[in-house]
Amino acid sequence: MSSDSRSLQSSAVIDEAVQTLRNGGLVAIPTETVYGLAADAKNPEAIKKIFTAKGRPSNHPLIVHLAAPDKFDQAQVDWLPILTPWVRDLSEQALKLIEAFWPGPLTLVFKKDKSVLSELTGGQDTVAIRAPSHPIAQELLRKFKGGVVAPSANRFGKVSPTSATDVRNEFEGMLDLMVLDGGDCEVGIESTIIDLSSGDKAVLLRPGAITPSEIFAKTGVKVYQPGELDDGQLGNDLPKVSGSLKAHYAPTTPLRLYQPGRVLDALSEFPDIKSRVAVAVWDSESSLVLEDRPSTDVEEVIVSSDPTTFASRLYRSLRDLDQQGWDLILFPEPPTGEEWDGVRDRLQRACFGSGPSSSSHDSN
């Protein structure tokens, strides 16, 4: 995102977007993670429009986006008045995480206040909240003076949008959809989600750019993996959250991961249908030696071996490759290490959901 992205959208345009939200309409907004399809979080009819536009199951919860409080001169920003309309109780842990990482790509799950609409929580007694750091999103939220729900601005299960053009391509039919252009998304994958609703333990529900070790280093809060807690403690009571379905973020072209040095194996696994294959290779590795495979038209696509850069370009690459008519897209398996967990999670779900299916959209 360029530093002048704020000037991309005049305040008059943002005022119009605020009015659209107040009138129960939808607005596509830039955030630092991906573009979101925003609606007034207090308006059940507006929330239903999101599910309809995305083709998203209505039991799938949404994330509430809030403006950060104005700093002025305070050393310590007071989040309490902003959160109390949404959240039943705010622990010391929660405040530490908020002070360290908001606004930013961290979503926290709380026990919800009774006034929070069940339309946005998927009928659960928890609510997921974050404060996006993108200046346009913040300006919109400050002027709106309320919360907006904003799942990724794409058809359900498909690749998330990281530019205004992606959003327009995704919703060609919705000619009246207002799209705020905030440039390309900086982070490029959805926020990290931490569950704080079960009491004293913070649990990772979706990996993202902010990792458990970074959280521990900055706040002293230990984040548990769902599998680390014995069933007696939590059972299957972890809340459902966005992006936790097995198939998600998926291109229409079949996508597979290959292990280091095993490109040819991956190619030979799909001999029947594959004639044109796009193979993503790490920029740190020398060019692949692809043996003479007369039947295969293989093109190399260089991807960054830096996890932050890789994440910021992942959906862009998948979208572009999806539109180029390949028969198969091969990506390298990300290295181990939690800084890669977010992109590994997205890639695995994308593989699982990829390929033409009865639900895939004709426009793709």
Read off the pLDDT of residues 191-204 as tens digits, 9 standing for 90 and up.
999 999 987 899 99
Domains of the chain (ranges; CATH) run: 5-234 (3.90.870.10), 255-353 (3.40.50)
Task: Give CA–CA dist 134/137, Å, rounded.
Answer: 5
Average pLDDT for residues 160-167, to the nearest whole number? 96
pLDDT at 190: 97
Q: In sequence order, which residues have a C-beta less than 8 Å from that of residue 364 and are 6 or more positions away? A: 158, 251, 252, 322
What pLDDT score was predicted for residue 237? 73
Residue 147 tokens read as: 């919360």
- Alpha-carbon Rg for the chain in angstroms: 21
- Assess whether pLDDT exceeds 60 at residue 151: yes
The proportion of the chain whose per-residue pLDDT surpasses 90, expressed as a percent, equals 71
Q: What is the pLDDT of residue 113?
A: 97
Closest Cα to residue 202, out of 336, 114, 86, 110?
Answer: 110
Please write the tens of the pLDDT for every residue from 54-69.
999 889 999 999 999 8
The mean of the pLDDT values for the chain is: 89
Give the residue, 215 or 239, on which the prediction is more confident. Answer: 215
* Mean pLDDT on 1-26: 79
Residue 263's pLDDT band (cuts 50, 70, 90): confident
